[in-house]
Chain A
Amino acid sequence: MALSLDSHVPDGPLADKWTNYKFDLKLVAPHNRRRFTVIVVGTGLAGASAAATLGELGYNVKVFTYHDSPRRAHSIAAQGGINAAKNYKNDGDSVYRLYYDTIKGGDFRSREANTYRLAEVSVNIIDQCVAQGVPFAREYGGRLDNRSFGGAQVARTFYARGQTGQQLLLGAYQALAHQIHAGTVQLFNRMDMLDVVVEDGQACGIIARDLLTGETSRHNAHAVVLATGGYGNVYYLSTNAKACNVTATWRAHRKGAAFANPCYTQIHPTCIPPSDEFQSKLTLMSESLRNDGRIWVPKDPADCGKDPSTIPEDARDYYLERKYPSFGNLVPRDIASRNAKSAVDSGHGVGALRNGVYLDFAESINRLGEDVVRERYGNLFDMYERITDENPYKVPMRIYPATHYTMGGLWVDYNLMSNVPGLFVCGEANFSDHGANRLGASALMQGLADGYFVLPTTIAGYLATKLGTTPPPITSKAFDDAQADVDDRVKRLLSVKGTHSVDHYHRELGKIVWEYCGMARNKAGLEQALSEIPALREQYWSDVKVLGDGESYNQSLEKALRVADFMELAELKVRDALHREESCGGHFREEHQTPEGEAKRDDENFQYVAAWEWGGPDIQRDAVLNKEPLVFEDVTPSQRSYK
């Protein structure tokens, strides 16, 4: 059955849409807001800012996090910065330019109106964060400083040393803490959401599991907001935190929410290459390093094992500067990643395992002095040295791409509401603003745009229609069934008592997805993955070993529930990648490239959002493809050029 996917994008000129729409939206009057309960799941940038803002507005908010404290969410690890169209540098920036860079950076696979709105509210975000006391970098005159990021020719990125995500998240967390203290927001920490409850076609609550006692509980509300992040850990090795998972959005998908563009994954070009088999995660080195670092490999593969300082200039290939002179080392992430892959695949990789390329600061240190470089990137250099035992002030860094962000996610309309009424999705968990590739410093922008400004406005339009109603009681059948299903999943995993650990299976899954659905994909490989994943999933459910019980703190059980959902999502992701017979942004199909090896889109056949509908457990057979055509009224999609 085809879904009706109405984007609800308002009419009118692009620049006026959001302003006019806000006026047309129904409102909930201040004295009525306390009659509504809203559940927010997740306390990263999007969740914490949404929960705090809804609390300030006067709604009853229940916020859930599986962490011990809301402040631990993985937004905290974002390093480089946040974009905003302030044009403080007087270098020609504007809301329109940020919008254009973002939609072009996304390879014309995002929704025009959403992307424009993102650029429009970017300026308010900076105002809000500064007022909260976020210690952004300043110039000597006391004004805010900016730097450049990939895919842009202006300096519009605001930053707080190499810890921008941390500072923005703490700002949102503190606003949330204020509301918790004021009593408008109730915090449920160490609680894992394991299902969405849908009754009469509307989202009305969740089932959550207390991670310390194992007890599952029911929570009802007028609306549910998922701000639960992306699914990058489907690759096992990624720059995501260990606990990041797809369960909340996947469970919502199984309850009817369409999952859009799951094949769009961002592979970040500057991460520390893995050193061995038991490595547990990959570490990002901020894209901001590409402002001052130069990427190169030896021209002659025979030089790859040599001390880099002995390789003369003319024997080095600064391949990004050579191929993309106008953007140079600051090309968008998908392009930088693919070029690193081809350098390594063609035998030019460096390091003991020949699995990296150099990111070299020697020229900047000569030009600016070591002190300036230390002030800009000191904490990143220290982190690099701790991990690799090499001093990047003396020896070039070695970097290689790693999974970092997922542009795909639950389908949402202009209101950030999924196709299940009452179920809203914010931040990385939704699909809406970045298309097939996200520009650097735009994830923080989107999380906060959604949480502070968009969702608290649009949710009123939905809640206003519910005035005078109460959510279904937690004793209703929908809650009974959802809780029984959760309890059953827990029991089944504990009763397998097989031979291999959860991590073993997660690692095996990651190898398949990385091999066949990573930086470059082709039909044969994707088909291979589609045969291997269901087999692995079957083995998982008959062989996984989860020790301990379900009534106490059991970290293996937490992971087991998450990996079970990754096993399903992986299949849909590969299915999506197989169906999209074009290359765009981070989705690179080897069959579809230009003679220069760049991504070749097929606008005639694939200019749409692929929104998959759950059809049953045989995902490759039963998942139903729905298409939301992407209509470009303002820009004309073109072949991206960064030369």
Chain B
Amino acid sequence: MTNMLNLTLKVWRQAGPDQPGRFEEYTTTVADDASFLEMLDYVNEDLIAHDQEPIAFDHDCREGICGSCGVMIDGQAHGPQKGTATCQLHMRKFADGSHITVEPWRAAGFPLIRDLSVDRSAFDRIIESGGYISVSTGAAPEANMIPVPKDVADAAMDAAACIGCGACVAACPNSAASLFTSAKMQQLNLLPQGQAERWRRTEDMVETMEEFFGSCTNHGECQEACPKEIPIDFIAMMNRDYLKAKFANRRRGGQRKAG
């Protein structure tokens, strides 16, 4: 059964990274079947009709998998529903008459572009530094040559579910990217295929992460905000691997840190 909701929004508007920002208030009436982004579409159509520039926000698949979308909703990354990206949040989670505050991710590692849109390229730099297994096309052995125990494959998949949205950074009081980095790293560090580069990968990814983001102090906010409910266990595993890498590397010529 569709119900209509009357809402008051307070949305962060900022024309560019060097422009001053401010909150603007909008009122709207939408069906509770709408997704949060459809509600923003609706507000935008209304703004355009009144010759006002629409609110810029990142989004694409609207199925919770591409990781493009993500805003702070009443101070919570991706809003009130656990394990749910902004695009999959539906308005039935809000009461009629709600006042909703919508802001971009706020972190030094994610410079603002416009309104609710931020630059998350730092995540790509972390992956480029070592978030892969080096195997050129054609160099792979027959797929069933290396058995991977189901539990290991499942744990790797739990980590690999990360969509790279940046909610973990936005939710963290230190703007740390430990949940993202550890998930991407541990997927590969857990698998037998990932062992050859394990220590070097760990060092490179951690140290690149630290160029852009704050330090983890185990608040655990990231785990609460993560739309894929990735646990902070992976951060502990990353910290363990980092420590080991620092000792291991001296003796493992093959995995010495690059450069």
Binding site for B on A (CB under 8 A): 49, 52-53, 56, 67-72, 74, 76-77, 86, 88, 124, 126-133, 135-144, 160-161, 163, 165-167, 170, 173-175, 177-178, 180-181, 187, 189, 212, 241-243, 275-276, 278-281, 283-284, 352, 382-383, 386-387, 389, 452-453, 456, 501, 503-504, 545, 547-548, 552-553, 555-556
Contacts and interface: CB of A to CB of B under 8 A. Distances in A.
A561 to B, nearest CB: 16
Interface in B140-166: 140-144, 146-150, 153-154, 156-157, 160-161, 163-164
Contacts of A383: 63-64, 88
Contacts of A556: 48, 54
B210 interface: no
B129 interface: yes
B205 to A, nearest CB: 11
Contacts of B160: 135, 160, 166-167, 170
30 contacts: A67-B60, A68-B119, A69-B121, A69-B123, A77-B66, A127-B140, A127-B141, A131-B193, A132-B132, A135-B160, A135-B191, A137-B153, A138-B147, A138-B154, A142-B149, A160-B157, A163-B161, A177-B124, A178-B132, A181-B128, A241-B61, A243-B60, A276-B34, A278-B42, A386-B84, A389-B90, A501-B49, A547-B48, A548-B53, A556-B48
A164 B16 CA distance: 37
Contacts of A178: 128, 132, 134
Given A189-B121, A241-B61, A547 B51 contact: yes
A254 to B, nearest CB: 26
A302 to B, nearest CB: 21
Most A CB contacts (10 A, CB to CB) among B41, B113, B132, B157 go to: B132
B95 interface: no
B88 A553 contact: no
Nearest to B41: A280
B72 interface: no
Given A52-B137, A547-B48, 9 more contacts: A69-B123, A127-B140, A241-B66, A242-B59, A276-B33, A278-B41, A547-B51, A547-B52, A547-B54
Contacts of B84: 386
Interface in B35-92: 35, 37-38, 41-42, 45, 48-49, 51-54, 56, 58-68, 81, 83-84, 88-90, 92
Query: Which size class do B's interface residues fall under?
Result: 35 or more
A136 B156 CA distance: 10
B65 A76 contact: yes
A175 B134 CA distance: 7
Interface string B181-216: 000000110010110000000000000000000000
A615 B52 CA distance: 39
A166 B90 contact: no
Contact of B114 (A165, A166, A181, A552): A552
Contacts of B60: 67, 72, 74, 241-243
A387 B90 CA distance: 7
A242 B61 CA distance: 6
Contacts of A386: 81, 84, 88-90
B150 to A, nearest CB: 5
A212 B113 contact: yes
B33 A275 contact: yes
Contacts of B143: 86, 126-127, 129-131, 144
B140 A131 contact: yes
Contact of B164 (A69, A144, A387, A503): A69
Nearest to B51: A547
Contacts of B121: 68-69, 189
A74 B148 CA distance: 28
Contact of B133 (A76, A132, A136, A141): A132
Contacts of A241: 60-62, 66
A212 to B, nearest CB: 6
A445 to B, nearest CB: 14
Interface in B214-236: none
Nearest to A71: B164
B137 to A, nearest CB: 4
A386 B85 CA distance: 11
A135 B157 contact: yes
Contacts of B88: 383, 386-387
B137 A180 contact: no
Interface string B9-32: 000000110000000000000110
A175 to B, nearest CB: 6
B133 A553 contact: no
Contact of A275 (B2, B65, B83, B131): B2
A529 B44 CA distance: 29
B117 interface: yes
Most B CB contacts (10 A, CB to CB) among A68, A163, A166 go to: A68
A81 B228 CA distance: 20
Contact of B34 (A72, A88, A212, A278): A278
